[in-house]
Amino acid sequence: MPWNLIAWQLLGERGIEILQQNEDEPDYYGAPPQSLWKMIFDEVEQQGLGALILLDEFLMWAHGAASPHPDSARQDKGPVWYGRLKNFFQTWRKRHQV
């Protein structure tokens, strides 16, 4: 998931541990709650680091995820992702404005 990639790039395995995303759980496809993002950014800051998150590659992934599958066989692609991505970015934008 894109949020796993962001967490990994910021803190490596520790970022993945904080997000607690398990492929076998039904909430795996939902964006992690703000409380977990706060923990991640707090740890980044405690290390004396900053974070710059570029979204170009993420947007390419999002385009593919939100594009309908040609034969409509995959329920994990297409319109279901519009809501997931919109919610993720709306929450992200409100919390992480500079």
Quick: pLDDT tens for 4-58. 888 988 999 999 999 887 777 777 777 788 888 899 999 999 998 877 777 777 7
User: What pLDDT score does 86 carry?
Assistant: 76
78 or 33, which is more confident: 33
Task: Check pLDDT > 80 for residue 59.
Answer: no
Task: Rounding to the nearest 10 degrees, give the CA dihedral for residues 34, 39, 41, 43.
Answer: 180
Residues of the domain holding 62: 2-95
Alpha-carbon gap, residue 80 to 98, rounded angstroms: 30
Report how many domains make up the chain: 1
User: What pLDDT score does 82 carry?
Assistant: 74
